[in-house]
């Protein structure tokens, strides 16, 4: 087989020197063309892949639902503002009372279906133990406003009231009309009673109730000095009237009760004692919850540390006797 002649003979290269560079140039152009073709192919493949991905995304993601004509749209810029974090009410505890301490307290409407039973003028050697028994049997905590001179003669009962978990306020020492008293006299009436209580119970006395609800700016000033709250009432069934029956007491309370009511009752009244268990049952059936005055207003609740544990002896004023309301009947 005859071989082909070379493209360029030696004579031709000598005649035309430019032809010497043509062969190396062709050799260099081959890889350049290959690289260019590879880049072109890769770029075209990438565009096709991106287009396919965008098409699949459009198919996978449904179009947003059209807003109802009655429902306003939320702008995208305010998306974060549209998110609300709901905190359970039980996790929120405010230290601010529902009624400022300097205001005269009559009721706490913001407390809703909670009411406070209060008992004035005790302790009564004849009836207080029975009152406590009824409250204990019905699992009710109340607020007592005893008179100083009665505490002095019934020290055991004062300790028992606190020992059974009830709240105790101050009802002055001699039960005078505070509207007719000057500041010094009012301060003495309150201080003597609080001192007697502090000797017998481990409970801070923060409430003062003027006898008959009679007070003036002097009492407000003294109460502010002593960091005490003046506590009156919003429901008065007039159980102190001589011929008031237990049915009339119950009917009056049920007719006048409202959200956050403070109910005025008195110790030493047999008709009040007779009405008490019926009243508690009826109000509970109507959805009312019983709390102390401090619990009602959002202040410190009545101390539960005063309640003796099983086998624990009551304060020394009780002569180291395991005193119960049943033992006093």
Tens of pLDDT, residue by residue over 113-165, are 999 999 999 999 999 999 999 999 999 999 999 999 999 999 999 999 999 99
* pLDDT bracket for residue 71 (50, 70, 90): very low
Q: Which residues are catalytic?
A: 120, 266
Q: What's the length of the chain?
A: 329
Specify whether the CB–CB gap between 281 and 134 falls below 8 A.
no
Q: Average pLDDT of 34-48? A: 61
Cis peptide preceding 288, ω within 30 of 0: no
Threshold 0.85, pTM exceeds: no
Q: Give CA–CA dist 48/147, Å, rounded.
A: 95
Percent above pLDDT 70 for the chain: 64
Q: Among residues 146, 252, 138, which one has the least CA distance to residue 194?
A: 146
pLDDT at 203: 93
Under the banding of pLDDT at 50, 70 and 90, the label for residue 98 is confident
Gap between the Cα atoms of 82 and 121, Å rounded: 57
Top-confidence residue, 49 or 289: 289
Given a contact cutoff of 8 angstroms between Cβ atoms, the answer to whether 290 and 139 are in contact is no
- The band of 323, judged by pLDDT with boundaries at 50, 70 and 90, is very low
Nearest 10 degrees: Cα torsion 209, 210, 216, 222: -60
Average pLDDT, the chain: 78
How many CB atoms within 10 Å of residue 153?
10
Closest by CA position to 127, among listed 103, 105, 154, 100 = 154
- Report d(CA 144, CA 18) in Å as an integer: 125
DSSP class of residue 107 equals: B
Quote the tokens at residue 203. Answer: 């409970």
In this prediction, residue 97 has a pLDDT band, given cuts at 50, 70 and 90, of: confident
Q: Any idea what DSSP says for residue 112?
A: -
Distance of alpha carbon 10 from its chain centroid, rounded?
A: 108
Scan for tokens 């110790």, then name that residue. 267
| Domain covering 109-328: architecture | Alpha-Beta Barrel (3.20)
33-37, 158-162, 305-309: segment of lowest average pLDDT: 305-309
**Residue-wise DSSP of 185-225:** HHHHHHHHHHHHHHHH-S----EE--GGG---HHHHHHHHH
Q: What is the pLDDT of residues 228-264, one digit of tens each?
A: 999 999 999 999 999 999 999 999 999 999 999 999 9
When computed from its CA atoms, the radius of gyration of the chain, rounded to whole angstroms, is 45
Side-chain half-sphere of 243: how many Cα atoms within 13 Å? 0
- Domain boundaries of the chain, sorted by first residue: 109-328
Q: DSSP code of 5?
A: P
Look at strands 143-145 and 289-291 and give their pairing.
unpaired
The answer to whether 178 and 186 are in contact (CB under 8 A) is: yes
286 or 311, greater pLDDT = 286
Q: Tokens for 23?
A: 């062969």
Go through 213-251 and write b for each residue having 16 or more CB atoms within 10 A of its CB, e for each that does not: eebeebbeebbeebebbbbbbbbbbebbeeebebebbbe
Q: How many other CB atoms are found less than 10 A from the CB of residue 258?
A: 11
Contact by Cβ (8 Å): 148, 188: no
Whether 64 shows a pLDDT value over 60: the answer reads: no
Q: Which two tokens stand for residue 122?
A: 């005790």
């Amino acid at each position: 087989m005859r071989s082909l002649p070379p493209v360029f003979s030696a004579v031709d290269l000598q005649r035309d020197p430019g032809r010497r560079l043509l062969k190396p140039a062709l050799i260099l152009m081959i890889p350049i063309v290959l690289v260019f073709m590879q880049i072109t192919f890769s770029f075209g493949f990438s565009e096709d892949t991106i287009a396919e991905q965008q098409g699949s995304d459009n198919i996978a993601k449904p179009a947003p639902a059209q807003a109802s004509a009655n429902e306003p749209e939320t702008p995208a810029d305010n998306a974060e503002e549209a998110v609300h974090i709901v905190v359970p009410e039980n996790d929120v505890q405010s230290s601010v009372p529902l009624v400022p301490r300097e205001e005269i307290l009559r009721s706490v409407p913001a407390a809703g279906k909670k009411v406070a039973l209060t008992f004035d003028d005790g302790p009564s050697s004849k009836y207080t133990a029975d009152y406590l028994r009824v409250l204990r049997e019905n699992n009710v905590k109340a607020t007592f406003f005893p008179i100083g001179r009665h505490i002095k003669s019934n020290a055991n009962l004062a300790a028992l009231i606190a020992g059974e978990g009830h709240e105790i306020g101050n009802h002055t020492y001699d039960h005078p009309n505070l509207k007719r008293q000057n500041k010094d006299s009012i301060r003495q009436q309150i201080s003597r009673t609080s001192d007697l209580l502090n000797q017998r119970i481990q409970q801070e006395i923060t409430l003062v109730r003027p006898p008959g609800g009679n007070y003036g700016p002097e009492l407000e000033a003294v109460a502010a000095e002593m960091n005490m709250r003046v506590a009156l009432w919003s429901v008065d069934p007039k159980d102190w009237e001589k011929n008031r029956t237990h049915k009339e007491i119950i009917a009056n309370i049920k007719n006048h009760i409202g959200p956050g009511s403070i109910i005025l009752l008195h110790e030493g009244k047999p008709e009040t004692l007779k009405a008490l268990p019926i009243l508690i049952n009826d109000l509970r059936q109507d959805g009312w919850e019983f709390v102390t005055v401090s619990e009602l207003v959002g202040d410190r609740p009545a101390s539960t540390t005063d309640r003796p544990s099983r086998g624990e002896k009551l304060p020394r004023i009780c002569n180291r006797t395991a005193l119960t309301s049943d033992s006093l009947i």
